Amino acid sequence: MLIDTHAHVNSEKFEGEREQIIANAKEQGLNAIINFGDTMESSAHCVELTKEFDICYAGVGIHPEEAFPMTADDDERIAEWTKNEKVVAIGEIGLDYYWEKDPLKRQLQKDIFIRQLDLARQLHMPVCVHDRDAHGDALEIIKKEGKDLRGVFHCFAGSYEMAVELFKMGWYIGVDGPLTFKNAAKLPEIVQKVPLERILVETDCPYMAPVPMRGKRNEPAYVYHVAAKLAELRGEPIEKVLEQTTKNALELYTRLKV
Size of the site for Ni ion (CB under 5 A): 1
Q: What is the DSSP letter of 222?
A: G
Point out the residue whose Cβ comes nearest to Ni ion.
Answer: 204
Residues in contact with Ni ion, shown as a per-residue x/- string from 74 to 113 under the rule CB under 5 A: ----------------------------------------
Residues in contact with Ni ion, shown as a per-residue x/- string from 134 to 163 under the rule CB under 5 A: ------------------------------
Q: Which residues pair with 196 in a beta bridge?
A: none
Q: Which is nearer to Ni ion, 4 or 204 (CB)?
A: 204
Nearest approach in angstroms of CB 156 to Ni ion is: 12
Closest CA to 159 of 183, 192, 131, 135: 135
Beta strands in 121-241 (DSSP E): 127-132, 151-153, 172-175, 199-201
Give the footprint of Ni ion on residues 169-228 (CB under 5 A). Answer: 204
Beta strands in 43-182 (DSSP E): 56-60, 87-96, 127-132, 151-153, 172-175
Indicate left, alpha or beta for 34 from its phi (over 0: left) and psi (-120 to 50: alpha): beta
**What is the longest distance spanned by two Cα atoms in the chain?**
49
Q: Which is nearer to Ni ion, 45 or 231 (CB)?
A: 45
Nearest approach in angstroms of CB 7 to Ni ion is: 8
d(CA 62, CA 43): 8
Nearest approach in angstroms of CB 236 to Ni ion is: 27
Q: Which is nearer to Ni ion, 158 or 231 (CB)?
A: 158
Q: Which is nearer to Ni ion, 74 or 204 (CB)?
A: 204
Element (DSSP H or E) covering residue 30: strand 30-36
Nearest approach in angstroms of CB 63 to Ni ion is: 8
Nearest approach in angstroms of CB 91 to Ni ion is: 8
Nearest approach in angstroms of CB 205 to Ni ion is: 9
Q: Which residues of 220-256 are buried (b: 16+ CB within 10 A; e: fewer)?
A: bbbbbbbbbbbbebbeeeeeebbebbbebbbebbebb
Q: Which is nearer to Ni ion, 66 or 243 (CB)?
A: 66
Q: Which is nearer to Ni ion, 65 or 204 (CB)?
A: 204
Contact 155, 202 (CB under 8 A): yes
- Residues contributing to the site for Ni ion (CB under 5 A): 204
